[in-house]
C-alpha cells in the first residue's frame, strides 16, 4: 500500500501510524502495491544496476567533456564520440595537453569503457530473462516496447489482473493527466508522474519512437496519424 494512501488517516505525528494503516486497509476501494515474486524482484535488481551504470557512464562522459573544454578541446555528446576522439587527442602532441592531463584522460576513458561493458552485459542478462519469460515476449509485440521495457513491466506490475482496466494501470504508472476540476469545469494538466519513474521513462521513450515512425513511414489513414493530425 502506497504511503500517500495512508497519510490522510493519520491523526497524530507518529503514534497514530499503525492505526492509520489499519484504517486504510479496511477501506473497500483501497489500492494495494502489487506483490512481486522472488524472480521478478531479482530481474528488477538487474534493471536497477544497469540504470545505475548508465547514469554513472553519462556522468563520466560529461566530466571528460567538461575537463577537455578547459583546455579548449571540444568533444561532441555521446560515449561513442568520446571513444572516437580520445585516441586522437592523446596522440596529438601539438594540442598543448600536459602529461598529467593525458594520464588522467586515459584513466577516465578506461573507466568509461568498463562501465560500457557492464551496461552491455547486464542488458544481455535482461534479454535472456525476457526470452525465457512467458509474458514478456507478448508485450514486445506492442509497437514501441522492446525487451528492456517488456521485462521491466512484467517484473514491476506483478499480477496485472489487480488492475480493473488499462486506465487504472496507466494511473498507477503516473501517465494520466492531473486534474484540477471545480464547479463542473474539468481542467486537465500534465501527467501526474506518480509511480515508477524508471518504467514511466521507458514507456515515454518508446511512445516517442513510435510517433517518429508514424510521422515518416506509417500509413496516412493509421489511427496514430489521425490522432496526431487532430
C-alpha cell at 10: 493519520
pLDDT band with cut points at 50, 70 and 90 for residue 47:
very high
> What is the reported pLDDT for 64?
96
Q: How confident is the model over 131-155, as pLDDT tens digits?
A: 999 999 999 999 889 999 999 999 9
Q: CA 156, CA 148: separation in Å to the nearest integer?
A: 12
Cβ–Cβ contacts within 10 Å for residue 26, how many? 9
Tell me what the mean pLDDT of segment 63-67 comes to: 95
> What is the reported pLDDT for 27?
77
Q: How confident is the model over 70-95, as pLDDT tens digits?
A: 999 999 988 899 999 999 999 998 88
**33: pLDDT strictly greater than 70:** no
Cβ–Cβ contacts within 10 Å for residue 95, how many? 14
> What is the reported pLDDT for 218?
60
DSSP states along 25-91: HT-TT---PPPPPHHHHHHHHHHHHHHHHHHHHHHHHHHHHHHHHTTT----SSHHHHHHHHHHHHH
Q: Which residue has the higher pLDDT, 163 or 201?
A: 201
Cβ-based neighbours of 65, under 8 Å, separated by 6 or more: 74, 75, 77, 82
C-alpha cell at 177: 493527466
> What is the reported pLDDT for 130?
95
Q: How confident is the model over 151-199, as pLDDT tens digits?
A: 999 998 877 777 788 888 888 888 888 877 777 777 777 888 777 889 8
Count how many Cα atoms sit within 13 Å of the Cα of residue 89 in the half-sphere of its side chain: 26
Say if residues 140 and 130 touch (Cβ distance below 8 Å): yes
In whole angstroms, how far apart are CA 83 and each of 12, 122, 189? 57, 21, 42
**103: pLDDT strictly greater than 80:** yes
Q: CA 172, CA 194: separation in Å to the nearest integer?
A: 7
Amino acid at each position: 500500500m502506497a504511503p500517500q494512501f495512508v497519510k490522510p488517516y493519520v491523526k497524530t505525528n507518529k503514534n497514530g501510524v499503525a492505526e492509520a494503516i489499519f484504517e486504510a486497509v479496511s477501506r473497500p476501494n483501497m489500492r494495494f502495491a502489487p506483490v512481486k515474486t522472488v524472480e521478478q524482484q531479482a530481474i528488477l535488481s538487474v534493471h536497477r544496476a544497469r540504470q545505475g551504470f548508465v547514469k554513472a557512464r553519462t556522468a563520466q562522459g560529461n566530466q571528460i567533456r567538461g575537463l577537455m573544454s578547459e583546455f579548449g578541446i571540444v568533444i561532441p555528446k555521446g560515449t561513442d564520440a568520446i571513444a572516437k576522439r580520445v585516441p586522437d587527442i592523446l596522440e596529438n602532441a601539438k594540442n598543448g595537453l600536459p602529461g598529467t592531463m593525458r594520464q588522467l584522460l586515459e584513466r577516465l576513458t578506461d573507466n568509461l569503457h568498463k562501465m560500457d561493458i557492464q551496461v552491455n552485459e547486464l542488458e544481455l542478462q535482461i534479454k535472456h530473462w525476457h526470452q525465457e519469460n512467458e509474458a514478456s515476449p507478448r508485450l514486445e509485440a506492442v509497437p514501441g516496447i522492446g525487451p528492456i521495457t517488456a521485462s521491466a513491466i512484467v517484473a514491476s506490475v506483478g499480477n496485472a489482473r489487480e488492475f480493473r482496466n488499462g486506465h487504472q494501470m496507466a494511473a498507477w504508472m503516473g501517465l494520466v493527466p492531473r486534474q484540477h476540476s471545480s464547479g463542473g469545469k474539468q481542467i486537465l494538466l500534465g501527467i501526474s508522474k506518480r509511480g515508477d519513474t524508471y518504467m514511466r521513462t521507458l514507456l515515454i521513450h518508446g511512445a516517442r519512437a513510435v510517433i517518429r515512425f508514424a510521422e515518416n513511414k506509417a500509413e496516412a489513414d493509421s489511427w496514430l496519424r489521425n490522432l496526431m493530425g487532430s
